[in-house]
Amino acid sequence: MDFTYNGSELNQKTILGHPSGLYVLFFTEMWERFSYYGMRAILVLFLVSSFTDGGWGWERSEALALYGVYTGLVYITPIFGGLIADKLLGYRKAVIIGALIMTLGHAAMALEIFNNFFLYLGLVFLIIGNGFFKPNISSIVGQLYKTEGQDKDAGYTIFYMGINSGAFLGILLCGYIGENIGWHYGFGLAGIFMFFGMLQFYYAQKIFGSIGILNKSKSSEDSIKDKPQDFSKVSSNIIFDRLLVIIIFSFCVIFFWWAFEQAGGSMTIFASDYTDRLLEGNGALIFKIFNSLITVVPMIILSYLIYLLSLITFKVPQMFSNSFSFEGRIRRAEYCLSVIILFTYAFIIRLITGSAGLEESVSFFLLIPAYWFAWAQGAKRCHDRGNSGWYQIIPFYGLWMCFAEGKSGTNEYGVNPKIDESSYKLSSVFLISSFLIIWIIIIWMLAREFFLPTTEVPASWYGILNSFYIIVFAPLVSKIWQSKYNVSGPFKFGFGLISLAIGFAILAYGSINIPLGAKTASVSMIFLILAYFFHTMGELCVSPVGLSYVSKLAPKNLVGLMFGVWFVANFIANTAAGFTGSFIDPIVEVYGMSIFFLIFTIIPTAAGIVMLIANKKIVKMMHGVK
């Protein structure tokens, strides 16, 4: 059978003109970005908060320096994760391993209330896990498409919409809960949905066919069906030119992310200390309505995408006839879901009782039903497997049982042959359950805010604007890239850099009246709102397009490694961003806040102009890749 896309037969079914497997990756990446940006949104604020507010009371320069080291290292490990996946694991195993390690990292950060060591341990886990996860899920996206043209560009833009959907929800919810309820609650919430994303990907991975599996003994028929376009006969000179273009793009993107990543550092400080965030009367009401709209509307769009994906995954041939043919697997999934329900229920109960100032005993009493439910599920699972004994009283013993396979293991591709089409159904169940929980938290948050007479906009809230703009404008930009108005890659990079510079020029203008050395001010929030808009327009022209070009230009045996090189550029940019941002106080002291933001206006503008001038030369070096 001649397939339009690589992957399984189910992957040939499309959603909004793209293969259904793209949306499995969409939601997996969404939950990973939820956890990453949710934690990142409150990290600096937590570090600079006083001890009485639950923070560590660090100086701004110290917090921004740690922020720069962390955000830099999460982009250096992908080069090693990409290489390991290329040679040893395969992309899919690497994604699952990375997601599991990051889940442990967020859990450790939530325990920082007991010991500071857990925060550092959590950051280490997040850095390592991201190395396995980040480059390899992007590689799978590129291999879904047989063509190397506009469809892949549009696919990466849709995928990038998933990235920013997660960032939007993570910053919104983790930021709100962290600032208003407790920092460790914000860290913990990030980990819960990272776990959801891992399970959703694990149970839906067969939709990719042999994509992302290390090829050990594939048949020639599978290789013809699933292998992307063969570039092995391309001359070495052409390969060299294309790799050089990837390096040029990677170098260019350093200037973009160096400025852009001020969003989680100096721009967060600007929002916290220099922006008028207190709203009263009509201003507060307008913000509450606006905040509700920009929260609910994207959630409706994402829920609709889940509905479309579920229509496909729930209608797999023989789905319902096979659903109960492997009762053990259904029981494993049932217990695994019960564990998730336990953690989520416990988290929400502690959140509500903590915010209401209730005693610890009340929380414990309310958690008894959840503990009993987990124990009952674990005991039933042990009984189903013929296990009995005193250890059945430990509910988490069943967590091992839910992944135990008994006599059957994995085949030569690392895929469990017993997991049939019903696994798609389980993936959808995990995805739908996670969104139901998100809806509950959002409704609670919005209702809680509406009853307050005044509103202080959280400093982390402005970070959601970037993600909101992407959710709104990514489909439009994707359509432009598929139309006759599509422009070359270097032109997109140049325009993106200049658009980013315009955003910082707006902040520089808004900061003109801030006195030298001022520690606080009350600048209108409109400047941040406009700045994030132009930053987002620039990001849409650089980041998803860059991911697409790495996938198209790199030889297929080096895709994972070249994605690692791409993320090394992000490492340099993020580290430099934190280092530069740590000088905000001395620069403001001597030159003023306006000059600080002008630095990020001038340099990206210069880099953008260079890309526009070099456009024709770079396009020629791409040798027909569009």
What is the pLDDT confidence band of residue 296, given thresholds at 50, 70 and 90? confident
- 463 with 336, same domain: the answer is no
DSSP string, 346-407: HHHHHHHHHHTT--HHHHHHHHHHHHHHHHHHHHHHHHHTT--SGGGG-TTHHHHHTT--TT
pLDDT above 50 (res 319):
no
For residues 294 and 292, give the distance between their C-alpha atoms in angstroms, rounded to a whole number.
6
Letter for the amino acid at 271?
A
164 in Cβ contact with 33 (< 8 Å)? yes
**What Cα–Cα distance (Å) separates residue 533 from each residue in 76, 182, 436?**
28, 30, 30
Number of domains comprising the chain:
2
Q: Is residue 415 domain-resident?
A: no
Using alpha carbons only, what angle is made at residue 297 by residues 427 and 150, rounded to the nearest 5 degrees?
70
> What is the separation of C-alpha 249 from the centre of its chain, rounded to a whole number of angstroms?
22
Domain-located, residue 299: no
Closest by Cα among 25, 24, 133 to 80:
133
If asked whether residues 471 and 568 sit together in one domain, one would say yes
Please check whether residue 120 lies inside any domain of the structure: yes
> Stretch 480-492: mean pLDDT, rounded?
83
Judge whether 402 and 379 are in contact, CB under 8 Å. no
Let me know if 307 is exposed, middle or buried by CB neighbors in 10 A (0-12, 13-18, 19+). Answer: exposed
Residues 364 and 462 in one domain: no
252/259 Cα distance (integer angstroms): 12
* Residue 203 is assigned to a structural domain of this protein: yes
Helix, strand, or coil here: 523? strand
Reported confidence tier of residue 100, pLDDT bands at 50, 70, 90: very high
Higher pLDDT, 344 or 268: 268
Which residues on adjacent β-strands are paired with residue 14?
19
* Better-scored residue on pLDDT, 547 or 262: 262
Under a CB-based contact definition with an 8 Å cutoff, are residues 81 and 93 in contact? Answer: no
- The predicted model gives 594-606 an average pLDDT of 95
Do 382 and 503 lie in one domain? The reply is no
CA distance 573 to 39: 20
CA dist 435 and 65 (Å) reads 35
In whole angstroms, what is the distance from residue 477 CA to residue 482 CA? 9
Q: How far apart are CA 470 and CA 461, in angstroms?
A: 15
The answer to whether the CB of 408 falls within 8 A of the CB of 418 is yes
224 — pLDDT class (breaks 50, 70, 90)? very low
Q: Is 121 inside any structural domain?
A: yes
Tell me which residue has tokens 């043209």: 149
Task: Give the pLDDT score at 281.
Answer: 80
Q: What is the DSSP string of 196-234?
A: HHHHHHHHHGGGGTTTTS--SS--HHHHHHHPPPP-TTS
Q: Are residues 609 and 489 in the same domain?
A: yes
Residues 247 and 364 in one domain: no
Same domain, 376 and 517: no
251 and 125 together in one domain: yes
Whether 289 is covered by a domain: the verdict is no
Between 107-111, 190-194, 371-375, the lowest mean confidence (pLDDT) is in: 371-375
Calpha distance 91→139 (Å, rounded): 7
Residue 354's pLDDT is 53
The boundaries of the domain holding residue 612 are 26-210+234-277+457-621
Q: What angle do CA 34, 349, 287 make, to 5 degrees?
A: 55
Does residue 364 carry a pLDDT above 70? no
> In terms of domains, do 369 and 514 share one?
no
Domain containing residue 87: CATH number: 1.20.1250.20
Tell whether the model's pLDDT for residue 489 goes beyond 70: yes
Q: Average pLDDT of 520-528?
A: 91
- The tens digit of pLDDT for each residue in 555-565 reads 877 776 787 78
Tell me, yes or no, whether 521 and 395 share the same domain: no
312 in any annotated domain? no
Residues 273 and 348 in one domain: no
- What's the pLDDT band for 344 if we cut at 50, 70, 90? low
- Tell me, yes or no, if the pTM score tops 0.75: no
* DSSP secondary structure of 44-72: HHHHHS-GGGTS----HHHHHHHHHHHHH
Question: Is 93 found in the same domain as 206?
Answer: yes
430 part of a folded domain: no
> Are the beta carbons of 150 and 626 closer than 8 angstroms?
yes
Is pLDDT at 508 greater than 90 in this prediction?
Answer: yes
